[in-house]
Structure 1
C-alpha cells in the first residue's frame, strides 16, 4: 500500500513537509524492534516509554514516515501530526491490513470470569460445523490448529489486526476472542467489527488499573456501546448476549442499541438452565430455549460452567446454528486446560488445577468442589504481585471459609516480596486459624498431596494454564499440573 493511500485514512492531520516522495509501505508499527526499510513508525505515549523519543532510532532503522502527536525532529522523513497517535494507530492498522474483521464472523467475549472457557467452547462449536476457526485470548492465539504465543489477553491493535489478516488469508470464517477491560479502555479493539458481543459476569478484578468498580464496569460496557447502531435485515446483524442474572447484564441492556439475547439460571431469560445437578463427572440440567426444553448432560463441573455453556450456546444460536448441533458439541466438550482440570491418582486423592485468581473465581471453584467432595478440601492459594492489594484478604477469607485446609503460598510475586503478599492475605485472620503458610509453591503442593487422604480433594488455585512463575522480574518455568503429577509420583500414587 502506498503511504499516500494509507494516510488518507486519517481524516484530520498535518503533514510536514506537505509534499514528499511516495513509497510502498512495508510495515506499520509502534515498536522500533519491528521497524524495517520503508516502515511507518507510530510514536505512542506509553506508561513507561514515550515513542517520540525513539523517532531517531526508527529513522535510522529505515522508517520512511513518522506519525506523531508531539513535535519531533527528523531530517528528510515526512511527519504526519495527529491529535492522538493511539487512535491513529487503530485507523492505520485497520487500513493497512484491509479491515480483516469485516470479512469474518467476530465474536467478542468480555467479563471478569469465564472468557477463556466461553471462547474455547464457541470455537469448538463452529469447528465441529466444519468451519475453520480462530481464537484469541489469555492462553494463546490459534489459527485452525496452529498456536501462537500471546502476551496479553487482548493483543495490541497492530498485532490484533495482523493476526486477523492472517486468519482471513487462511480462510478462517469465525473468530472467538477474549476482550479485556484494559484493552477496551486503551482502544486495543478500536476498528474491530464485532458481530456478537458476550457478557459473562462482573466481579472484583483489575482495580490496580481501573481504581474503582464503577470504572471497571464502564470499561466492560464499551464493547456493547460500540457494537453498532444500525438496524436492518442484514445476514450478520449485531447481537448482544447478556447474563441477566448479573446486575451488570441488566445495565448493559441500556448501553447497547443491538438486539439483546439473554441467558441465566435465577431470572427469566430467553435461554435458561434449570434443575441443575452437579456431580464429580459433570453437570446435568434442563436447557430452555424460548420455552423449548431439552435435558443436557455435560462433562464440565459446576454452576459457573453452566453459565459458560449458556453463553456459548447463545453465541452460536445468535449466529444461526442449529440448536441440536450446538447441544451435541456441548455434550462432548471436556473443558479447558487449567479450568477445574482434574488430576486423579491411585491413592484416591484428586488434585484440581484452576485459574481462580479473583475472589469470585475462587468462591465458584470451592463451592463447586464442595458440592461433590466426599472427603476434606485442601485449598492452595496465593495472590499476584504488583496487582490489586484489596482482593488479597478477600481471597484468604474465602479459602478459610470454604476449605478444610487452606494453604497460603506464592503465586506470581513479580517484583513484590512473596511473604509481604501473604501477610496482606493474613490481615484479619486469627493466629489460631487453620491456615498454613508455605511460601514455596512446589513445597505447598507436595505438602497438601502428601497430607490428603482417600476421598480428599486438593484445589491448586490461581495460575491454571500458566506454565511459569514471575519472581523478581524473572520468568521461571512452573506448571501446577506438572507439580501435582510430580507430587503424586513421589507419593507413589500415580
Structure 2
C-alpha cells in the first residue's frame, strides 16, 4: 500500500522523504513497529509518541506521522499533519478499506443510558433480520465473538479494525457508544454516522485527563451531530439546545414533553415479587404500548431512544414490543431470580450520582425494604466513598458495606471511609468485608417485599487486590450460595 493512499483524506506536509513510498502496515504503538511500518506519533497524557522516532527508525519504520518537530534519520519519510490523532483516525479508515462505508453506523452519546440503549437497539434490529455489530463499555460484539472492552470508545485504529471484521462477518449495521473522550480525542473522526443519538448530560468526566470544564464536555458531545446524517435527541434534557447548537444534521426528538416527536404517555410502574418493570404508551411518530423488564423512568428514555432509531429501519411495532421484552444488559439493573418473595438485582452503579439515581428509582416501587450492598475501589478518591455512603445511608433501609476492588489499599480502611459517609445520616448498616459472605447475608436475610441491589461490580467478573485480578462474578457467587457452597 502506498503512503499516499493512507493520507488521501488528509492535509499534510512532506518534511523529508517521499509520500509515494510503499508501507507495510499502520502502527501507533512503537513496540509493534516492524520493517516498512508507518508509525503515527500520538501525544498522549502519559507518553508522547514523538519521543520514539529514534526507536522506530532502528526497527525499520519507513515513515513517521508527526505534529511536532522531530529528529529523524535522512532515509526516513517524515509527514507533518495538524493533529496526529485526527490523522490516525482517517488513515485507519483508509488502511482497512473504509469499512464504515459498507454499513449503517449508529452512534450514541450521553452521560447515562448509552450501554443499555445499544443493547436494546441491537436486540430490536436483530429481531427483524439485521446482523448488528456492537462497540461499547462492556464489550465489542462481532458475530458470535465478544471482546472485553478497555475503553467505552476504543482508539480509532481498533474501531476500524472492528468495523472491517464486522463487515467481513456480514454485519449491515453497527451500534456503538461514543464517549465525550472519544470525540475529544478524534477516535471517531471521519466515521460517516447514519444516526447520532443524544441521551442526556450530567456533570461527570470533569477533571485531569478528561474535560477542562462543563462547557468543554458539552462542546465535545455536540461534535457527533456535526458528522451524522440524522440526530435523535432527548428534548427533555436541559442541555439539548447547547449540545445541538452547532449541529449540521436533520434532528428528531423523543421524551415525555409534548414537544417531542416521539413521546411516552400513560407511564406506570409494574411490580411483583422477583420482578420490576415499567409500561407506557408510545405517541407521536408511532402509536403502541410497551412494557419492559427494566425498572424506572430512565428505562422509558432508553427504550424510547431505541424505538426512535428502529423506526428508521421500518421495524414494525409488534417486533419492537417483543424485542424490548427480551432485551437485557449484563450488570445494568440485571435481575437475578433467587426467591419468590423478594427481588435481587446486580447493577454497575459505582459513584454517588449513579447510586442515587438507582436507589431513587427503586424507592418508587415502594419496597418493604430497600437493601443496598456496595463497596468502593481502592486508590481512588476518598470523596466518592463518603458520598456513596451518604447516598446509601439516606435512601436505603439497610446498607451492607463490603469490598470492591481494594487494589493496593486495606479493604477495612475503605469500609471505614464509607462508614464516615453513612454516619452523616440515620441509615442502618452492617459491614462484611468478604463480598461473597456479604451477598450470602443479603440473600439469607431477605424479607418478603424487599428489593436488594448489589451495586458497583455490574458486568465485572474480577476482584482486583494488590495488582492481581482474581476471578469473581457475582452471578457465580449467587449460584454457589444458593447451592449451599
TM-score normalised by L of structure 1: 0.88
Q: Find the aligned partners of 1:83 and 1:398 in 2 and give their Cα distance.
A: 46
Q: Find the aligned partners of 1:488 and 1:441 in 2 and give their Cα distance.
A: 15
Report the counterpart of residue 119 of structure 1 in structure 2.
118
**Superposition deviation, residue 417 in structure 1:** 5.3
Unaligned runs of 5+ in 2: none
**Superposition deviation, residue 213 in structure 1:** 3.3
CA contact (8 A) 1:286 1:294 kept: yes
Report the counterpart of residue 184 of structure 1 in structure 2.
183
Report the counterpart of residue 40 of structure 1 in structure 2.
38
From 53, 59, 72, the counterpart of 1:55: 53
Q: Find the aligned partners of 1:409 and 1:204 in 2 and give their Cα distance.
A: 27
TM-score normalised by L of structure 2: 0.89
What does residue range 191-210 of structure 1 map to in structure 2 within 5 Å?
191-208=190-207, 209-210=210-211
Unaligned runs of 5+ in 1: 229-237
Q: Find the aligned partners of 2:408 and 2:201 in 1 and give their Cα distance.
A: 28
Q: Find the aligned partners of 2:416 and 2:120 in 1 and give their Cα distance.
A: 38
What does residue range 471-490 of structure 1 map to in structure 2 within 5 Å?
471-490=465-484
**Superposition deviation, residue 333 in structure 1:** 2.1
CA contact (8 A) 1:242 1:252 kept: no
Report the counterpart of residue 251 of structure 1 in structure 2.
242
Q: Find the aligned partners of 2:320 and 2:20 in 1 and give their Cα distance.
A: 58
CA contact (8 A) 1:55 1:74 kept: no
Report the counterpart of residue 151 of structure 2 in structure 1.
152
Secondary structure in 1 aligned to 2:330? coil
**Change in CA separation of 1:70 and 1:387 when aligned onto 2, cut-off 3 Å:** farther
**Change in CA separation of 1:418 and 1:259 when aligned onto 2, cut-off 3 Å:** farther
CA contact (8 A) 1:300 1:333 kept: no
CA contact (8 A) 1:207 1:388 kept: no
Q: Find the aligned partners of 1:442 and 1:152 in 2 and give their Cα distance.
A: 28
CA shift digits 1:390-418 (9 cap, x unpaired): 55444333212221111333333445555
Report the counterpart of residue 213 of structure 1 in structure 2.
214
From 266, 291, 296, the counterpart of 1:297: 291
CA shift digits 1:349-380 (9 cap, x unpaired): 43210122343432332233333364322101
**Superposition deviation, residue 111 in structure 1:** 1.2
CA contact (8 A) 2:394 2:425 kept: no
CA contact (8 A) 1:14 1:82 kept: no
Q: Find the aligned partners of 2:322 and 2:461 in 1 and give their Cα distance.
A: 28
**Change in CA separation of 1:88 and 1:210 when aligned onto 2, cut-off 3 Å:** same
CA contact (8 A) 1:349 1:449 kept: no
Report the counterpart of residue 12 of structure 1 in structure 2.
12
What does residue range 27-176 of structure 1 map to in structure 2 within 5 Å?
27-68=25-66, 69-74=68-73, 76-176=75-175
Report the counterpart of residue 276 of structure 1 in structure 2.
267
**Superposition deviation, residue 227 in structure 1:** 2.5
